[in-house]
Amino acid sequence: MVASFSAADLHIHTTASDGTASPEAVLSYVAGKTDLRVIAITDHDTLAGALVARRLAPQYGIEVIVGCEISTQVGHLLALFIEQPVPAGLDLATTVALVHAQGGMAFAAHPFGALVPSIGRRCLLGPERTDLDWSLLDGIEVFNASLWYPANNRRAARKAQALSLTQIGGSDAHNLAMIGAGRTLFPGQSAADLRYALQRRATLVTGKAWGWRGVAGVAREQIQQWFDRRQTDSVEMTGSLQ
Ligand SMILES: [Zn+2]
Ligand SMILES: [Zn+2]
């Protein structure tokens, strides 16, 4: 019998970092508007949104993996299946060791991406980094729907194939509409099935790049959010002066 595959989006941001949707809104959207069975919440350097989402997930009939997009010295690292925060700003080997010590798995996020700190590139818009030990990682995000230069996804896929590393895909969604644009396919249905597939390099990856319209939409929502926050802050400040 051929096992049927399910889809997971393993790279989603919420309002706990720079996303525009709350953990509750993400769960509601995933349950109501997508066919995803498993998602990972991977906010920048915090588990707060992921922990809330995991607690509420049973009400929505989906499973949430607690994850984090950790800012390391060499770029963003996606940690999945973790329980404790890992400090930002550490070197790659130390960061991966701290992820593994708590039973987590570590993946390069958007490797070679030029506009955000990315494993595989020396600095923003800089040349490729040649001094990395990629074998420290459990795998590589070979499809990131938010990359502005799609060739970097192909480059990431070639790197994963050359090193026989697990391949994952994610949307890097910062708003609801982009959730599911990048997907990791795995045999089975549960987060445990997904973890089993990740450990055995049995995942497949698919996705659809955001394009300029999607990127512009997120930027617009983030600016609106910043503006709303400023107004709230000024109302609070006025209130405290009275
Ligand atoms: Zn990133
Ligand atoms: Zn991200």
The pLDDT assigned to 168 comes to: 97
The pLDDT assigned to 233 comes to: 66
Ligand with smallest separation from the Cα of 43: 2
Q: Which residues surround ligand 2, an ion (CB under 5 A)?
A: 69, 172
The pLDDT assigned to 131 comes to: 86
Model confidence pLDDT, tens digit, residues 17-68? 999 999 999 999 999 999 999 999 999 999 999 999 999 999 999 999 999 9
Model confidence pLDDT, tens digit, residues 94-129? 999 999 999 999 999 999 988 889 999 888 888 888
Taking residues 1-5, what's their average pLDDT? Answer: 72
Ligand with smallest separation from the Cα of 115: 1
Ligand with smallest separation from the Cα of 182: 2
Model confidence pLDDT, tens digit, residues 129-168? 888 999 999 999 999 998 777 788 999 999 999 999 999 9
- Quote the ligand 2 centre to 223 CA distance (angstroms): 18
- Quote the ligand 1 centre to 70 CA distance (angstroms): 8
CATH architecture of the domain covering 5-214: Alpha-Beta Barrel (3.20)
Ligand with smallest separation from the Cα of 170: 2
**Does pLDDT of 87 surpass 60?**
yes
The pLDDT assigned to 209 comes to: 72
Ligand with smallest separation from the Cα of 12: 2
The pLDDT assigned to 242 comes to: 43
Model confidence pLDDT, tens digit, residues 174-185? 999 999 999 999
- Quote the ligand 2 centre to 236 CA distance (angstroms): 31
The pLDDT assigned to 215 comes to: 60
- Quote the ligand 2 centre to 172 CA distance (angstroms): 5
Ligand with smallest separation from the Cα of 111: 1
| Whole-angstrom distance, CA of residue 68 vs CA of residue 45 | 6
Map out the domains of the chain as residue ranges: 5-214
- Quote the ligand 2 centre to 116 CA distance (angstroms): 9
Please say whether the beta carbons of 132 and 169 come within 8 A: no
Ligand with smallest separation from the Cα of 108: 1
Taking residues 204-233, what's their average pLDDT? Answer: 71
